[in-house]
Amino acid sequence: MNQVQKVLLGVPDTASLRRSIFEVHAHTTLQRGRTLVAQPLDADTTRGARFNIVKSAEIDIFQGNAITAALLNGGPYHKPKEKNFASVDGFFFPKLPVGEVPSMNEKDKRILLFQMTVSKNHHVRASGIIYLLEKLGLLDLVKANPKRAALIFVHPAGEAKDFKRQQIHSSGTSPANR
């Protein structure tokens, strides 16, 4: 974590600014490509999954109300233009050639959904994830094989020990632990 973020960590009124600074950093880092090792939040799991994110020439910024499967021809790193897009702050999906129908036939092909947070608690609405997957033409593929999608919470380095399993709200106000 850089010095500015360390200073902001102790000032409650700056949480929004700290989040904004972190999000910009996280999007830039993911766009450059890297291998992520996701730390499991289950007590009975000890090894994290590895996700290879290839470099994007630029971040593909999309309108939340104009999502189609054609979006997958760009990227491979995407982020919504809206700051308040439901449930997802960005996603990675291997770039498709123009006209190719989305599929997940390749062994390691999956959509990685990113939720950036500087908070210890960050609830997610399942409806936002379902909306995105449906519009991208991936919902049925993910339903058939849930391992083809991963929701990854991205938080500042060094704060993993404070981060616990998050709530996914399936409907109304009743959350489901995921």
**What mean pLDDT is reported for the chain?**
79
> pLDDT at position 116, please?
85
Rounded to an integer, the average pLDDT of 125-146 is 91
> pLDDT at position 178, please?
40
> pLDDT at position 124, please?
79
160 token code pair: 């993993």
Question: DSSP per residue over 102-130, as a string?
Answer: P---STT--EEEEEE-SSS---EEHHHHH
Q: How confident is the model at residue 19 (pLDDT cuts 50, 70, 90)?
A: confident
Rounded to an integer, the average pLDDT of 41-54 is 72
Per-residue buried b or exposed e for 121-130, using 16+ beta carbons within 10 Å of the residue's own CB? eeebbbebbb
> Which amino acid would we find at residue 150?
A
Name the percent of the chain lying above pLDDT 90: 22
Rounded to an integer, the average pLDDT of 90-100 is 82
Whole-angstrom Cα distance, residue 148 to residue 119? 27
> pLDDT at position 62, please?
92
The mean-pLDDT minimum among 1-5, 14-18, 56-60, 141-145 falls in 1-5
Whole-angstrom Cα distance, residue 32 to residue 70? 22
Q: How confident is the model at residue 6 (pLDDT cuts 50, 70, 90)?
A: low
Whole-angstrom Cα distance, residue 117 to residue 124? 11
pLDDT in tens, 66-89: 899 888 888 899 999 988 887 899
Could you tell me which residue, 177 or 167, shows the higher pLDDT? 167
Q: How confident is the model at residue 36 (pLDDT cuts 50, 70, 90)?
A: confident
In total, how many domains does the chain have?
1
> pLDDT at position 175, please?
38
What pTM, to 2 d.p., does this model score? 0.79
Whole-angstrom Cα distance, residue 138 to residue 119? 29
Q: Which residue in 114, 118, 113, 94 sits closest to 104, CA to CA?
A: 94
Could you tell me which residue, 101 or 61, shows the higher pLDDT? 61
Contact 98/73 with Cβ under 8 angstroms? yes
Contact 104/148 with Cβ under 8 angstroms? yes
Domain range holding 150? 3-177
